[in-house]
Amino acid sequence: MSTVSELVDQALSLPRTDRGYLARKLIESLDEESEEKLSPQWRAELDRRLRSVKDGTAKTIPHDQVMTEVREQLRNLPPSKQTA
| The pLDDT of residue 9 is above 90 | yes
Q: Are 11 and 22 in contact (CB under 8 A)?
A: yes
Instruction: Report the predicted TM-score, pTM, of the whole model to 2 decimal places.
Output: 0.42
**Residue 1: per-residue pLDDT:** 59
| The pLDDT of residue 84 is above 60 | no
